[in-house]
């Protein structure tokens, strides 16, 4: 049984199908408390209102508590069926309500929903603790666990016993009553602080948008992008002739690559870097410090040296030392490559600027594009017309999925949406049998959190049945009405990446809901999605979607070659900005409660950590700084390294796929049957070895990122 608080994470690891309990007449007015009549249990988004969530949470928690009490007080001797299977069946309504609420709160929130989140985050924490710290329930769990060798359990059932027991122990089931009391208080406060942090980050990214009073400051941006900036200013009630550039949650901002005015670039970039540290109502530094302190205290209560040790115990990496070694070995190599790239950029500045200046972080993206144009004859604006969003989705992502897995997609315009910009697709097997629904939500908006992610509204399991309903979310700027949505190459790759997560959710085939879909270790969940990125530039796939939106001509091979060559030029930067954020997250979570820096010490902590790993190179700031590092303060605490760790597996897998058939059903079905279908029902690395037949090394990744030469 997964902790109910995991439903609050971006990737929802606990899963079960739509609610089944009987409904009363009063419940019938609340669409969250009755079975959805829509296909695949799709939530009735058109009927759900803000006022439905609080009573739905109240009733769902009460029902779940009653179900758990029945299991805990069952007079029959404990066995696998009456303890573990019944816990898997319990809480169906609560999982459904929580899944709908937290997904909508991330994709299209409002003040009323945020108020519900603030109220119910600590309540859900207390509810989870009441289950995991229930002594009668734990006694029954432990009895079966200790006798598991004498019970006739298949591999997946045995894993459920072992993983559930581990969940209880890690939640504090073996602590003294006094320590459990303190643990409950910590969990409740962390839930409240996590909610406050996420809401402040969203508010701050909206409030930090940069207003320009002169269109000349936006020189270099496309006419469509300038129109979007004008429309954003108008939507905020500003005067005609003013322009607003909104921010993404990363440190770097896409417009920086095109803006020719250096002063404008500096304003935009400094606004991005200052988020959460401006001393206003959205300053998050005190929250960051408090969360890290409480996590460290909780880890110590549970017998761990640090929160990082606690987190790594259940990850494929296995130990803190292994990740520290990874950071120490690769960080300096990446930084050295970034500095070499910086020298090239500085030379470009010296050769082209009227008055040469020293390269700064707000210059990096712009002069990278200048170097790419000169060295590779590459211009991002030349490429984007070949990447029209709908074409990339249908003839790229969907096409590759059909080639690999035989699955097809049909748009359902008859089903309700939570926002007009979303689309819903029905998914079918090769034989025409239905799989589930796939929701796409690609445009940025102020009510949506930053980044890109996948989530689930429903999942399949053999025990409970049901069908998967999953969503993919990007934050692509929406063009003016009537204009095509043209993607950057990075956005194309991100779309393929997120579909890799969706495939993990759609193609799951496990017995127990706790193992369904993406219910895998955090540092393995990114692996299938990173593998799926390879199909973005696979020749057969590219030929099918990289079509000029006006002329219908395919992208010239010479232009595509330049795209790939140009992308490798900036690998030092890309690796450094990512690893810089990764070490900040990991180092913060290795501290004891007494060592955690205070709000005013976070900047010094950041500088010291970057010096420690030879990544204190000012032109390349971390991809996220602590004050707006949602991964670190959320579900990826001590786990941002996961993307790099998963890429080790990904790079080796790409080699295997190229050696064993490439884009065909045999390859796709092998990946589906060994990785995707199994979810978390087996050890992650056992699944990998089952797929590839070998243990991966780091060399393929270093070669891919152009880092091997610097390692000699």
Catalytic residues: 498
Residue 343: both structure tokens together? 């020298």
The H or E element spanning position 339 is helix 320-352
Residues 491 and 474: beta-carbon distance below 8 Å: yes
Q: Which residues neighbour 266 within 8 Å (Cβ) at sequence distance 6 or greater?
A: 360, 362
Residue 127 to residue 629: CA distance in whole angstroms: 27
**What number of H helices and E strands is found in the chain?**
27, 7
Q: Which residues neighbour 252 within 8 Å (Cβ) at sequence distance 6 or greater?
A: 269, 272, 364, 365, 577, 623
Residue 525's nearest CA partner among 502, 509, 507 is: 502
Residue 696 to residue 689: CA distance in whole angstroms: 9
Residue 109 to residue 96: CA distance in whole angstroms: 18
Residue 187: both structure tokens together? 């969990």
| CA R_g for the chain | 25
Residue 681 to residue 520: CA distance in whole angstroms: 8
Question: For residues 368-406, b (16+ Cβ closer than 10 Å) or e, as one string?
Answer: bbbbbbeebebebeebbbbbbbebbbebbbbbbbbbbbe
Establish how many alpha carbons lie within 13 A of residue 672's alpha carbon, considering only the half-sphere containing its beta carbon.
20
Residue with tokens 């609610």: 19
Residue with tokens 């884009």: 663
Establish how many alpha carbons lie within 13 A of residue 629's alpha carbon, considering only the half-sphere containing its beta carbon.
32
Residue 217 to residue 267: CA distance in whole angstroms: 10
Find the DSSP H helices in 441-538: 489-506, 522-532
Residue with tokens 């017998």: 303
Residue 568 to residue 337: CA distance in whole angstroms: 11
Residue 373: both structure tokens together? 């144009």
Residue 598 to residue 285: CA distance in whole angstroms: 8
Burial class (CB in 10 A: 0-12, 13-18, 19+), 295: buried
Residues 269 and 253: beta-carbon distance below 8 Å: yes
For residue 432, what are the CA distances in angstroms to 111, 393, 458, 603, 663? 43, 21, 21, 56, 21
Residues 702 and 711: beta-carbon distance below 8 Å: yes
């Amino acid at each position: 049984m997964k902790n109910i608080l995991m439903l609050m994470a971006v990737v929802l690891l606990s899963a079960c199908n739509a609610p089944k309990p009987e409904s009363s007449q009063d419940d019938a007015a609340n669409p969250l408390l009755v079975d959805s009549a829509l296909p695949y249990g799709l939530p009735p988004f058109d009927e759900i209102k803000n006022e439905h969530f609080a009573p739905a949470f109240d009733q769902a928690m009460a029902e779940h508590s009653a179900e758990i009490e029945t299991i805990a007080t069952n007079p029959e001797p404990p066995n696998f069926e009456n303890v573990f299977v019944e816990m898997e069946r319990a809480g169906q309504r609560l999982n459904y309500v929580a899944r709908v609420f937290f997904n909508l709160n991330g994709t299209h929130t409002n003040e009323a929903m945020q108020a519900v989140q603030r109220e119910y985050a600590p309540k859900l924490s207390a509810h989870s603790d009441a289950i995991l710290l229930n002594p009668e329930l734990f006694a029954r769990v432990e009895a079966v666990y200790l006798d598991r060798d004498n019970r006739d359990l298949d591999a997946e059932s045995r894993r459920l016993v072992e993983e559930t027991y581990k969940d209880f122990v890690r939640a504090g089931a073996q602590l003294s009553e006094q320590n459990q009391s303190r643990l409950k208080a910590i969990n409740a406060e962390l839930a409240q602080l996590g909610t406050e942090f996420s809401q402040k980050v969203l508010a701050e990214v909206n409030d930090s948008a940069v207003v320009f009073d002169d269109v000349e400051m936006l020189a270099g941006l496309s006419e469509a992008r300038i129109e979007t900036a004008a429309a954003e200013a108008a939507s905020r009630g500003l005067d005609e002739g003013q322009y607003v550039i909104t921010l993404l949650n990363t440190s770097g901002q896409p417009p920086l690559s095109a803006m020719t005015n250096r002063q404008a670039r500096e304003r935009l970039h400094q606004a991005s870097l200052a988020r959460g540290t401006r001393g206003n109502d959205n300053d998050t530094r005190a929250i960051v410090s408090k969360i890290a302190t409480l996590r460290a205290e909780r880890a110590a209560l549970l017998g761990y040296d640090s929160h990082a040790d606690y987190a790594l115990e259940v990850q494929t990496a296995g130990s803190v030392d292994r990740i520290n070694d990874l950071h120490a070995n690769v960080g300096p190599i990446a930084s050295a490559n970034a500095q070499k790239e910086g020298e090239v950029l500085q030379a470009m500045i010296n050769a082209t600027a009227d008055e040469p200046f020293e390269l700064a972080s707000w210059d990096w993206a712009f002069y990278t594009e200048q170097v790419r144009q000169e060295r590779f004859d590459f211009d991002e604006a030349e490429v984007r017309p070949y990447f029209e969003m709908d074409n990339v989705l249908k003839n790229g992502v969907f096409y590759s999925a059909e080639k690999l897995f035989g699955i097809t997609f049909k748009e359902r315009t008859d089903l309700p949406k939570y926002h007009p910009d979303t689309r819903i697709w029905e998914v079918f097997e090769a034989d025409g049998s239905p799989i589930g629904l796939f929701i796409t939500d690609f445009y940025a908006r102020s009510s949506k959190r930053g980044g890109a992610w996948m989530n689930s509204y429903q999942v399949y399991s053999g025990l409970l049945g049901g069908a998967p309903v999953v969503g993919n979310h990007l934050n692509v700027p929406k063009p003016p009405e009537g204009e095509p949505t043209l993607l950057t190459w990075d956005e194309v790759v991100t779309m393929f990446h997120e579909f890799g997560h969706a495939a993990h959710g759609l193609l799951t085939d496990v017995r127990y809901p706790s193992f369904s879909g993406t219910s895998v270790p955090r540092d393995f969940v990114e692996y299938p999605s990173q593998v799926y990125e390879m199909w973005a530039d696979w020749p057969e796939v590219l030929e099918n979607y990289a079509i000029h939106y006006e002329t219908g001509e395919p992208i010239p091979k010479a232009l595509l070659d330049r795209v790939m060559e140009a992308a490798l030029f900036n690998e030092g930067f890309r690796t450094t900005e990512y690893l810089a954020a990764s070490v900040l997250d990991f180092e913060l979570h290795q501290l004891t409660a007494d060592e955690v820096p205070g709000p005013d010490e976070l900047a010094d902590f950041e500088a010291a950590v970057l010096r420690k790993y030879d990544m204190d190179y000012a032109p390349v700031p971390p991809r996220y700084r602590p004050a707006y590092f949602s991964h670190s303060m959320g579900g990826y605490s001590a786990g941002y390294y996961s993307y790099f760790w998963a890429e080790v597996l990904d790079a080796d897998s790409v080699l295997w796929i190229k050696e064993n058939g490439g884009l065909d059903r045999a390859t796709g079905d092998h990946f589906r049957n060994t990785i995707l279908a199994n979810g978390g029902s087996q050890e992650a690395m056992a699944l990998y070895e089952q797929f590839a037949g070998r243990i991966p090394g780091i060399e393929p990744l270093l070669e891919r990122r152009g880092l091997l030469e610097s390692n000699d």
